[in-house]
Structure 1
Amino acid sequence: MSERTRRGPSLRQDAIAETVLAQGSATAAEFAERFGVSLMTIHRDLDELERQGIVRKFRGGVTAQRSGVFESSVGYRGRAQRDEKEAIADRAMDLVEPGMAIMLDDSTTALAVARRLKDAGPLTVVTNFLDGLNLLAPVQGVRLIALGGDYDPLHNSFMGVSCVEAIEALQVDLCFVSTSAISNGNACHQEQHVVVVKRAMLRSAARNVLLVDHTKLGRTALHRVAPLGDFERVVVDDGASAEALDELDRHNVRYEVAARRR
């Protein structure tokens, strides 16, 4: 199907977002020509993508220049490193056994794990991620516990004091979390209110597993979530460089490398 015949604005917006994330920037005129629509239509698409936090508009075009807000957007995170997240989720499932109580944070990597839980029950799954709740709500064999709190549209999840209190009332077997940066032996994140929720999740679990794609290794973020030693293991994809893995070794981190599908 040609680009001109793509149906509906959502498909066109997905293609625009993928292009901008790959190239870094583009012009509205380029997209109008590519999709055979008016500049006004493209600007409406860009307005919606900007509202989601996926792109930033400037006069005549759009950019994927990163910022803390940009990288926190669930729209951006859902589009980034998809193959890597799928590989990590496949490897993470080796740790899941029937009868477990599992907690998932609001990361899109943990959401990839959630997609694989449909046939792994019976399970109890606890999460604050609305995407995960919607995904697992109709699944038989999964007892689903929703962590309430203040709804955060940027992350499409629930945060705040009420969420933390709900987490503290639970004790789960296994917790899967992800963070935006790994550096100096620590898992870090750029947003304080997200860190508070992740820390509470880690305290509530008997075993904690960190799921991070290779782009997170060697990056920095403002707030420390936890030392890597607090995790039973770290699961990373095979895009990780030898230097990045050596850094994990230097901090005595137990890690597993998940192979991407070729």
Structure 2
Amino acid sequence: MSNEHPRSRSARQAMIADYVLKHGTATQADLVELTGVSHMTVHRDVDELARRGLLRKFRGGVSALPTSVFESNAEYRLNANTEEKSSMAAHLAKHLEPGMSLLLDDSTSALALVNLLAEVTPLTVATNYLRAIDALKKLDDVRLIGIGGDYSPTHDSFLGMACLEAIERLTVDMAVVSTSAMTTELTYHQEPEIVMVKRAMLASARQKVLLMDSSKAPKTALHRLAPVRDFDLVVFGPNSPMEVVAEVRGHTKAERAAWSNA
């Protein structure tokens, strides 16, 4: 197998879903060539992606669902729209004050904020995202609360009942979340277990902030997360269409970040 082929199941499924979403359809032979694995392995991967509602199987291949938005594995997401995420994080950091308590979800948009928190300490930060925990534990003057549960290798985070119960015991100043997709009225996510965790975080926060880069709006996904009006602030990426930002402002406070110099 070539070194360019993904070795882990989650990374391989991310590659398959991304390819199909970009091209619309793909044959079994296309995906075998793409991934460098056997027909049987591709068959199992496609079955899993179809079960999750990300792709649709047809005789001889697969197609992208019209409303499908792929929430890919953590390593893949870390390299997507990084400049926009950094710009949104820099914008949101201006809204933070020392002494605040924050809940961060397992999005890479929220992770971009972690790199800026050293300038706002002291802070209390709770998160279920393992990569964020690893970064936060190195910061002085941050009280870190790691939210545990069932570990998901796909998301590099903790989910499940234990995670939900831990979040429900918290009350914080601000929850910072992102999600797979939004229209000007509703937010969405493709995976129900992620929806449950994000809803719990929003319910535990006095102020609810949504970070959305330009790749996510206006789009829909399988599960509704929350109405846009439920958020106190929506921070859009610099490439987001101004007409979308303007429509969201009809429901809640919305700001479009400027490009960061970082």
The answer to whether the superposition gives a TM-score over 0.5 is yes
Q: What SS class does the counterpart of residue 4 from structure 2 fall into?
A: helix
- Name the structure 1 match of 2:129: 129
TM-score, normalization: structure 1? Answer: 0.78
Shift of 1:47: 3.0
Please say if residues 184 and 228 of structure 2, whose CA atoms lie closer than 8 Å, have aligned partners that are also in contact.
no
Please say if residues 125 and 142 of structure 1, whose CA atoms lie closer than 8 Å, have aligned partners that are also in contact.
yes
- 1:240-251 matched pairs, under 5 angstroms: 240-249=240-249, 251=250
Work out which structure has the larger RCO, using CA pairs closer than 8 Å and 6 or more positions apart in sequence: 2
Please say if residues 182 and 217 of structure 2, whose CA atoms lie closer than 8 Å, have aligned partners that are also in contact.
yes
CA offset digits 1:79-101 (Å, max 9, x no partner): 11111000000001011111111
Q: Does residue 61 in structure 1 map to residue 21 in structure 2? A: no
> What RMSD over aligned residues (CA atoms) do the two structures have, in Å?
2.2
Please say if residues 54 and 76 of structure 1, whose CA atoms lie closer than 8 Å, have aligned partners that are also in contact.
yes
- Name the structure 2 match of 1:254: 253
Shift of 1:163: 0.4
Q: Does residue 100 in structure 1 map to residue 100 in structure 2? A: yes
Percent identical: 42
Q: Distance in 2 between matches of 1:97 and 1:138?
A: 20
Q: When you count helix as a share of all residues, which structure comes out higher? A: 1
Please say if residues 175 and 209 of structure 1, whose CA atoms lie closer than 8 Å, have aligned partners that are also in contact.
yes
- Name the structure 2 match of 1:187: 187
- Name the structure 2 match of 1:86: 86
Please say if residues 14 and 72 of structure 2, whose CA atoms lie closer than 8 Å, have aligned partners that are also in contact.
no
Q: Distance in 2 between matches of 1:66 and 1:54?
A: 13
Q: Could you tell me which amino acid in structure 2 is paired with residue 48 of structure 1?
A: R
Q: Distance in 2 between matches of 1:93 and 1:184?
A: 24
CA offset digits 1:99-145 (Å, max 9, x no partner): 11111000000000011112321110000000000011121100100
Please say if residues 10 and 153 of structure 2, whose CA atoms lie closer than 8 Å, have aligned partners that are also in contact.
no
Shift of 1:69: 8.6
Unaligned 5+ segments in structure 2 are 17-29, 37-62
Q: Does residue 45 in structure 1 map to residue 4 in structure 2? A: yes
Shift of 1:214: 1.3
- 1:4-83 matched pairs, under 5 angstroms: 40=1, 42=2, 44-48=3-7, 51-52=10-11, 53-56=13-16, 58-61=31-34, 70-83=70-83
- Name the structure 2 match of 1:12: none
Q: Distance in 2 between matches of 1:131 and 1:108?
A: 9
Aligned length: 219
- Name the structure 1 match of 2:226: 226
Q: Distance in 1 between matches of 2:209 and 2:166?
A: 20
Please say if residues 186 and 227 of structure 2, whose CA atoms lie closer than 8 Å, have aligned partners that are also in contact.
yes
Please say if residues 102 and 125 of structure 1, whose CA atoms lie closer than 8 Å, have aligned partners that are also in contact.
yes
Q: What SS class does the counterpart of residue 87 from structure 1 fall into?
A: helix
Q: What SS class does the counterpart of residue 148 from structure 1 fall into?
A: coil
Q: CA 1:73 to 1:186, structure 2 compared with 1: closer, same or farther past 3 Å? A: same
Q: Distance in 2 between matches of 1:170 and 1:253?
A: 25
Q: Does residue 109 in structure 1 map to residue 69 in structure 2? A: no
Q: Could you tell me which amino acid in structure 2 is paired with residue 45 of structure 1?
A: E
